[in-house]
Amino acid sequence: MPPNDQKGATHYPSGNAEGGTPAHSWAADIGPGVVTMAADNDPAGIATYSLAGAQFGYDMLWSCVLSYPSIVALQLVSARIAVLTGNGLTTNMREHYSRLWFFLAVGRFLIANTFNIAADVVAMGVGAHLLWLGSIPGSATFFLILSIALQWFVPYAKYARVLRWLALSLFAYVGVDIVLHLPWTRLTAKLFVPHISWSGDYLEMLLAVLGTTISPYLLYSQAEQQVEAQRPQGECSDRTQRNEAAQRRLRRIRRDTLIRTALSNAVAVSILIAAAATLHASGRALDSAASLASVLAPVAGQFDKHLLGVALISSALLALPPLAGSAAHAVASTIGWPIDPQHNRRIAFALIAIVALGGALGVVLAALRLDPIRLLYWSAVVNGTTATPVMVLLVLLSTRHSSVGDLSAHWALRALSWFATVGMGAAVVARYACGWLG
């Protein structure tokens, strides 16, 4: 058992210190602002957006902008289901779908999360190498142990308040966009007019960008955050009062989600523009951590590697808890653990096991000297490939009267969610169809 353990202490979300009970960090009580921006744009996101800009210039900007309404809609649907049922996504899916579809969605989600954890651990090793030229496998091991210790002993909200200052390094990409003389008229068109090329490389990159922009683990974490936030309030016996309280809470969630997602997507757009304006414009390839760091040279100069190292480490440390925690809860819901103090302890151990498994895989990959940029990119591709089943079940769940009663998701939310789901599925099909057809 961890220190400060108390009867009934919460060892999974939400990281809220107001109740005086320590909470383990997996739950993504990441709040508005810089913390969410860094957790959303983890090392896999930084590498993927940079690769997209370096390889295709400004041609993929539209995917970050036009996906914004659907990302918001999917998160709101997740929150709505959690608020109205009092259960997370995996619990609801297990109750309302066949075991085949449930295990398909959850299994693919767990695989994607584990690989994403491994890639982020490698990225922390790379970040340390950029800062002090240490061994990448050794540094990855050190930061893996540090991340586990933080998640076990320190509430997420506490150490996130420190790490968010380091995560401000991501705003350096905004600085790059400001200091360079960019063709803003052309960029405006690229932001809102889709450009799609029928080639395997383009479609695969599009799948990776969508995979890191519409991250399934954020949907699971969003739902669990709402479940934990409302548990201490208890349940009201009057149905009308319950519905009114749920609607008030959903209005607050809508406001926060709009702000957080806008900030996250704005940073993603800034990264892609910066890479396009530096690497693509000069004809340089993004084939190493040094070239990835060079994107920041217009504002950081000779300290570009140090700035990137700080960004990789801080964003990974902020992203690992919701990655591992959402996977831990998926395992718990699949097994059917009851919601009680014993369940909380099991969740905590499941979290550590998942972090250790993914982290160990990351250390092995680092020791094999595989290209870390490609590892981060492929973790985004895996996310994009595995997201569609989760998204389908999520949107169908929001329409079930047996799940959310009379307060089913608004038609506009469902339409935007279906738009994202169909788009993601089409990207997967198009990528592999292009490969098969040559």
Q: What is the 3-state secondary structure (H, E, C) of 175-197?
A: HHHHHCCCCHHHHHHHHHCCCCC
pLDDT single digits (tens) 284-317 = 999 999 999 999 999 999 999 999 999 999 999 9
> Is 60 exceeded by the pLDDT of residue 132?
yes
pLDDT single digits (tens) 211-221 = 888 887 778 87
Q: Range with the lowest mean pLDDT among 45-49, 168-172, 334-338?
A: 334-338
User: Could you tell me if 54 and 284 are in contact, meaning their C-beta atoms sit under 8 angstroms apart?
Assistant: yes
In the chain, domain spans? 27-231+245-437
> Is 80 exceeded by the pLDDT of residue 19?
no
CA 8 to CA 6: how far, in whole Å?
6
Residues in the chain: 438
Q: Compute the average pLDDT of residues 78-95.
A: 82
Q: Is 80 exposed, middle or buried (0-12, 13-18, 19+ CB in 10 A)?
A: buried
- Average per-residue pLDDT for the chain: 82
Within 10 angstroms of residue 206's Cβ, the number of other Cβ atoms is: 23
- Tokens 């913390």 correspond to 35
User: Could you tell me if 68 and 211 are in contact, meaning their C-beta atoms sit under 8 angstroms apart?
Assistant: no
- DSSP state letter for 232: G
Q: Compute the average pLDDT of residues 410-414.
A: 80
- DSSP line for 62-118: HHHHHTHHHHHHHHHHHHHHHHHHSS-HHHHHHHHS-HHHHHHHHHHHHHHHHHHHH
User: Could you tell me if 160 and 30 are in contact, meaning their C-beta atoms sit under 8 angstroms apart?
Assistant: yes
> Is 80 exceeded by the pLDDT of residue 428?
yes
pTM of the model as a whole: 0.86
User: Could you tell me if 122 and 360 are in contact, meaning their C-beta atoms sit under 8 angstroms apart?
Assistant: no
- Report the candidate in 377, 327, 381, 332 with the shortest Cα–Cα distance to residue 354: 327
pLDDT single digits (tens) 247-262 = 777 788 888 888 888 8
CA 143 to CA 249: how far, in whole Å?
37
CA 376 to CA 317: how far, in whole Å?
15
CATH topology of domain 27-231+245-437: Amino acid/polyamine transporter I (1.20.1740)
Percentage above 70 pLDDT, the chain: 83
pLDDT single digits (tens) 156-209 = 778 888 887 888 888 999 999 999 988 888 888 899 988 888 888 999 999 999
